[in-house]
Amino acid sequence: MKVVILCGGRGTRLYEETEFRPKPLVEIGGQPILVHIMGMYACFGHEEFALCLGYKGEMIKNFFLHFHTMTSDFSVDLKTGNVSILKPQPRNWRVDLLNTGRDTGTGGRILRAAPYLSRSTFMVTYGDGLADVDLDALLAQHKKAGKVATLTGVRESSRFGVIETDAQGLVSRFREKPVLDGLISGGFFVFEPEIFEYLDDGPLEEAPLEKLATERQLALFKHEGFFRTMDTYRDYLELNALHAQGRTPWIRSVPRQ
């Protein structure tokens, strides 16, 4: 099953990093977050990707043109110019790199990828979110619901601590970054080909999803586990701190063969 990854945004709230490179190439633990995301899908057997490029998309193209030397140690024979990869990491990935416009909305990017997708079920996510979503369960839920689209609902933690008071108005305790009530879209979607009838050049998150919901064609998959986006520089620092501590729930054991 093909996985569409939206890689075209400007990432303005992470300008400390995205001034120089597109957000999907911002690194966590020495690897672009995009590689981490693709690895999440590959662990469930999904190894065909369509990357919808926009802002600084040429840098993502260059990364994949030189993927093995960019992600591995290598040796160069200066006499012959031959390059040997040291300890190669086998990946059976196939990657389509698609120019979808510098300022195109997320819905428009998916629409422009349509010629490269077979008329079958496909998955979509953003190029800045990590989670330990059970993708097998997500697909099973989508098939059971029998709708055009399924989105993954996640719970988000507050960015701030919460002060609780007693009946006398005195502070009773602090709660550090509690989980907020309700669900938000985690950005892990499954779509049927009929989705293209709902898309235009604007954002996926507005009219298309609203129309799907109105027509009762949008199913929900609830994910209660780890979820984090790299939206700001603070998120970037926190994700790298987690990686340094070995706390990487989005990285599963061994990819399926």
Of 48, 41, 220, which Cα lies nearest the Cα of 134? 41
Q: Rounded to an integer, what is the distance from CA 25 to the centroid of its chain?
A: 12
pLDDT tens digits, one per residue of 106-133 = 999 999 999 999 889 999 999 999 999 9
pLDDT tens digits, one per residue of 187-228 = 999 999 999 999 999 999 999 999 999 999 999 999 999 999
Q: Rounded to an integer, what is the distance from CA 60 to the centroid of its chain?
A: 15
Rounded-to-integer distance, Cα 46 and Cα 14, Å: 29
Q: Which single residue is written with the structure tokens 């064609």?
A: 217
pLDDT of residue 157 exceeding 50, the answer is yes
Q: Are 103 and 171 in contact (CB under 8 A)?
A: no
Burial class (CB in 10 A: 0-12, 13-18, 19+), 250: buried
Average pLDDT over residues 55-74: 94
pLDDT of residue 255 exceeding 50, the answer is no
pLDDT of residue 161 exceeding 70, the answer is no
- The two tokens of residue 183 are 């669900």
pLDDT tens digits, one per residue of 83-101 = 999 988 788 999 999 999 9
Segment holding 189, helix H or strand E: strand 184-191
Q: Which single residue is written with the structure tokens 């954002």?
A: 203
Average pLDDT over residues 34-53: 96
Please give the pLDDT value at position 37: 97
Average pLDDT over residues 165-177: 67
Cα–Cα distances (Å) from 142 to 34, 44, 50, 191, in that order, read 24, 16, 21, 9
Per-residue b or e along 203-213, where b marks 16 or more CB atoms closer than 10 Å to that residue's CB: ebeeebbeebe
Please give the pLDDT value at position 172: 67
Q: Which CATH class is domain 2-244?
A: alpha beta
Segment holding 126, helix H or strand E: strand 122-126
